[in-house]
Amino acid sequence: MRITLLACLFIISSVFQSLAQNTRALNFNPALKPFYHGVASGDPTPNKVIIWTRVTPDSTFVGPATVEWRMATDTGMTNIVQSGTYVTDINKDYTVKVDVSGLLPNKYYYYEFTYDSLNSIRGRTKTAPLAMQDSLRFGVVSCANYEAGYFNVYKVLTERNDIDAIIHLGDYIYEYEHTGYSYNSTAGRKFEPATEIITLNDYRTRYSCYKLDDDLIRLHQQYPFIMVWDDHESANDSYKDGAGNHNSGEGLWIDRKQASQQAYMEWSPIRPVIPGDNSLIYRKIQYGPLMDLIMLDTRLHGREAQSGTTGSTVNNPNRTILGADQYQWLSDQLLYTQAQWKIIGQQVMMAPLTVAGIGVNGDQWDGYPAERNKLISLVLANNIQNVAVLTGDIHTSWANDVPTANYNSNTGAGSAFVEFVTTSVTSPGFPIGVGMSIIKLANPHVKFVNLDKKGFIILDVNQQRVQADWFFVSTINYSSSNYNYAESWYENAGERHLRKANSLAMPRHDMYYQTAPLWPRPFVAPPIVEPEDTTSNPQPGTGLQEADEIAVVGVYPNPFTEGLSLQLYLANPGDIVIDILSLSGQKLVSYNKYFTGGLQFLPIETPTLQNGIYFLRIKYPGGEKTLKVIKQ
């Protein structure tokens, strides 16, 4: 959601940042070749976990690539418990996603990939428990606009090393064009591609842009992710049949929606609900008898079009934000679970947010009141206890009771369950302090609100209560590990309302396990650098060499129809000559461009080429590369 929802609470003076003409190159670590995008894991069960990477082949972007993978119980990868190979190709954008089975519950594992005798960095993951636990801890995040600033939230969570997994509630990427939304000229971070993303190749390139960020690479490397999409993985204010940011001239919505979902599934460590179906993401992750994590799709699956917060359409008793099938599935999870805590991860604020009794944002559950009331009635009529909702989307922090008509704000009586809303990683909130008191006066079920700070929640779950601790980073204008504790609220087991905590929740005694090795990355030959050694220089044989100063990170699309785009990294400034050659070596198209160095995005038009196979030759100061491309 692009934030406009609180405008009716107070008059906001718009502050526009100046747009710098010169932007810094994207982060790029050539030593990670050919796994420039790092590794990731996700959707843990007691005996399985998804592991992910993306390989960038050096010789061709057409043929298949066979990638080896292995999983061990130690950082040195000596006690291998599972291994195999995975064949990827251009149809998967050379992403690799393996569902590793046969694992033990509640256990740390380490994993890596190999291609062309080079290893990826080693990732750490953890399976879910099968038995009752003393406690569970999660980092809760959402809304990471690359151009709005540095991902210091991700940096801090990596360094804390005191959680079991990351819960990402959506807006992992943003679809806008360069400077299209909340551009931070001080940070100087620029989207690729620079245009609004619409096609499959656009979405793939944007994920590639994000996953070259050092802090995102390292966070994925250390923890399994449990993810859902929100609107910006497709387009702002999206719903089942359209989006606020899908306009005339941008093609059919169904095509854009399917492209965004395919790229999301390719580039994310998420387990498909139905193999081969990219559209379904609502699912349950079980953490033993202590907790069910119920992840919903309030965005693309069943949501009807937004229509404000008043009127006959909004008040239709059959109006839905989930769809009938997902609502029935959610009902079943709540009614028939054996878990003590039912934690619902979803996208948009569920608690009411009103002025003079009128909802201020029809994109939230206030635009779908009948289904919210239906859910509240289900919980209360069946005496379903220990329900808490996790929410993102709104770029601000909230602790809410979810009230019924007879709610008492002094005692919490009449609350159905509670809601914890995490702020954004970088996306803008509301830097006006007076708004918070106005909001709480008009909405007494809101117990805590912050409208401008960026940060995250640490969710701590035990058998006595579930507690959310809010933390805020000091800046997103430059890379920093500084952050501060803000406030904590909790729900006791057997109660339905919030209480303020006197202090943050402390991690359990076993949380400080050895992290996965960071830099330098382990490699196949010469001999392996010990994983715990993160201070020595990378050894010969890793990454780009002196005579290998260029990396072709992406060729989109391939096969192509009218033109293609290159995502290139050049170690040093210099002239680049790009030729398209026939199979016989005849030069058909030629481009000459000076690169300043770093990561670049270069479109190439090919209107005169006939369908067929061609060679793309890239000449640079240190040599040349030749890739095979197909026009069809």
Give domain status of residue 543, yes or no: no
**Angle, helices 369-381/324-336, rounded to nearest 10 degrees:** 20
User: Same structural domain for residues 243 and 154?
Assistant: yes
Checking if the pLDDT of 19 tops 80, the result is no
CA distance 8 to 365: 18
Averaged confidence pLDDT in the chain:
88
Query: Is 527 within a domain?
Result: no
Contact 5, 360 (CB under 8 A): yes
Domain hosting residue 485, numbered range: 136-500
Same domain membership, residue 149 and residue 203: yes
Q: Closest by alpha carbon to 552, among 196, 60, 138, 219?
A: 60
For 566-597, the pLDDT digits (tens) are 888 888 888 889 888 888 788 888 888 888 87
Query: Does 244 lie in the same domain as 108?
Result: no
Q: Which of 104, 124, 144 is the last residue in one of the domains?
A: 124
Beta strand pairing status for 39-42 and 49-54?
A: antiparallel
Last residue of a domain, one of 92, 124, 156: 124
Placement of tokens 């057409």 in the chain: 62
* Number of structural domains in the chain: 3
Average pLDDT over residues 449-476: 97
**pLDDT at site 535:** 33
Please check whether residue 17 lies inside any domain of the structure: no
Does one domain contain both 120 and 141? Answer: no
509 pLDDT more than 80: no
Is residue 376 over pLDDT 60? yes
Structure confidence at residue 453 as a pLDDT band (50, 70, 90): very high
Mean pLDDT, to the nearest integer, of 81-98? Answer: 96
My answer on whether 106 and 176 are in the same domain is no
How far CA 409 is from CA of 266, 379, 404, 497, in Å, comes to 45, 20, 11, 9
**Residues facing residue 612 across a β-bridge:** 631
Q: What percent of the chain has pLDDT over 90?
A: 69
Q: Which residue has the higher pLDDT, 120 or 568?
A: 120
| CATH code, domain carrying 435 | 3.60.21.70
Distances (CA, A) of 240 to 61, 450, 508, 617: 34, 31, 42, 43
Residue 375 placed within a domain: yes
The share of the chain scoring above pLDDT 70, in percent, equals 89
Q: Are residues 180 and 56 in the same domain?
A: no
Whether residue 463 is found in the same domain as residue 564: no
Give me the mean pLDDT over the 492-508 stretch. 96
489 plus 625 within the same structural domain: no
At residue 512 the predicted structure's pLDDT band, cuts being 50, 70 and 90, is low
- Region 546-559: what's the mean pLDDT? 73
Crossing angle, helix 214-222 and helix 152-160, to 10 degrees? 30
Alpha-carbon gap, residue 340 to 53, rounded angstroms: 35
* pLDDT for 603: 82
- 166 with 61, same domain: the answer is no
Q: Lowest mean pLDDT: which of 181-190, 347-356, 476-485, 610-619? A: 610-619
| Mean pLDDT within 558-573 | 81
Question: 173 and 57 share a domain?
Answer: no
Asked, for residue 25, whether it belongs to a domain, the answer is no
- Which position has the token pair 């008898």? 289
Among the candidates 124, 148, 164, a domain finishes at 124
Whether the per-residue pLDDT at 11 is higher than 80: the answer is no
- Identify the pLDDT of residue 343: 98
Residues 149 and 275 in one domain: yes
Question: What's the rounded mean pLDDT across residues 408-436?
Answer: 90
- For residue 69, the domain's CATH number is 2.60.40.380
Question: Do 454 and 585 fall within a single domain?
Answer: no
Q: Which of 259, 406, 411, 282 is nearest to 346 (CA)?
A: 282
Nearest of 188, 177, 268 to residue 228 by alpha carbon:
268
CATH number, domain at 602?
Answer: 2.60.40.2550
**The model's pTM:** 0.90
Q: CA 350 to CA 330: how far, in whole Å? A: 15
Res. 27: pLDDT tops 80: no
- Distance separating alpha carbons of residues 216 and 13, to the nearest angstrom: 33
The pLDDT score that the predictor gives to residue 209 is 93
pLDDT at 624: 82
The predicted-structure confidence for 335-368, as pLDDT tens digits, reads as follows 999 999 999 999 999 999 998 889 999 999 999 9
pLDDT band at 75 (very low <50, low <70, confident <90, very high): confident
Q: Residue 24 pLDDT > 50, yes or no?
A: no
What digits encode the pLDDT tens for the residues 266-318? 999 999 999 999 999 999 999 999 999 999 999 999 999 999 999 999 999 99
The pLDDT-based confidence of 523 (bands split at 50, 70, 90) is very low
- What's the confidence (pLDDT) of residue 533? 34
